[in-house]
Amino acid sequence: MQQTLEQLKDMKLTGLIEAWQQQQAQPTYHDLSFNERLALLVEREYLRRQQQRQQRRLKQAKLFVGAAIADVDFDVPRGLKKAQFLEWAQGQWLVEHLNLVLLGPTGTGKTFLSCVLADHLCKQGHTVRYLKTADLVIELKLAKADGSFPRLRKRLAGFELIILDEWLRDPLPKADAREILDFLDDRYRRSSCLFATQFPVNQWHQQIQEPTLADAILDRIVHDSLRLVLKGESMRKLTSKVKPMKEVD
């Protein structure tokens, strides 16, 4: 069997090897038929590979926050509907190449909820990448400067969902707006974006300093986007372990 084990190692079938060694060590498996034992070996290897792919997707996503759906507090009154959020977590909107806009004041959970969705979608088999908008612009510019833009463009196009956090937090100069427009053109009705922002959609235009580019950018987003409008107090305030100090007369 040593030669067989070496061949299995060479093929990187470590899950199958572990399952086979378990079967050899435990008499429980000895009365099973060959087909039954083989099925268990294959299932172990299959699950190992699925887990590896999931871990790889999560690593590639580079999420700002590590969180799962179980960590979401749906009882806090902030406009978050549980049924709707769980439906979005299933990813049909990605299949339809729609976008998602998360709107709300500071602290209402936009980044957190974006990462929760991304985490679940990765586990469902989708590919995701988290980026702050300013970082995306920098990456695009640097790639054009050093000649790596074709590779970056291809890599970004490979993600089914790209999260753009802090969307339009800072006014977008003309040169940066042009980069964003080209990026959105590459993804338009081919793949999805999630925009997390403090600004209502009706204020986006004024955040983009070139009106013509602003028209084009908004035209590629607003018509194909689902929206979640959050409200209420900051979650940081509500979950803080520090009690507010009482005023003393």
Strands 225-229 and 99-103: parallel
Residue 76, C-beta contacts closer than 8 angstroms, at least 6 positions apart: 232, 235, 238
Instruction: Write the secondary structure of 115-151 as one string of H (helix), E (strand) and C (coil).
Output: HHHHHHHHHCCCCEEEEEHHHHHHHHHHHHHHCCHHH
Measured CA to CA, the distance from residue 92 to residue 95 in angstroms comes to: 5
Cβ atoms within 10 Å of 70's Cβ, excluding its own: 6
Max Cα–Cα distance, the chain, nearest Å: 84
Map tokens 């070996």 to a residue. 41
pLDDT at 133: 97
| pTM summary value | 0.81
Q: What type of residue sits at position 184?
A: L
Measured CA to CA, the distance from residue 68 to residue 32 in angstroms comes to: 39
Using the Cα atoms of residue 213, residue 216, residue 219 and residue 221 in order, give the sign of their dihedral.
negative
β-partners of residue 208 are 172
Query: Strand, helix or coil at 37?
Result: helix
pLDDT at 143: 97
- Assigned architecture for domain 62-233: 3-Layer(aba) Sandwich (3.40)
pLDDT at 129: 98
Phi, psi of 101 (to 5 degrees): -115, 120
> What does the domain layout of the chain look like in residue ranges?
2-60, 62-233
Q: What is the pLDDT along the chain (249 residues), one digit of tens a residue?
A: 788 888 888 888 888 888 888 888 888 888 888 898 888 888 888 888 888 888 899 999 999 999 999 999 999 988 999 999 999 999 999 999 999 999 999 989 999 999 999 999 999 999 999 999 999 999 999 999 999 999 999 999 999 999 999 999 999 999 999 999 999 999 999 999 999 999 999 999 999 999 999 999 999 999 999 999 999 777 666 666 676 655 555
pLDDT at 241: 64
pLDDT at 30: 83
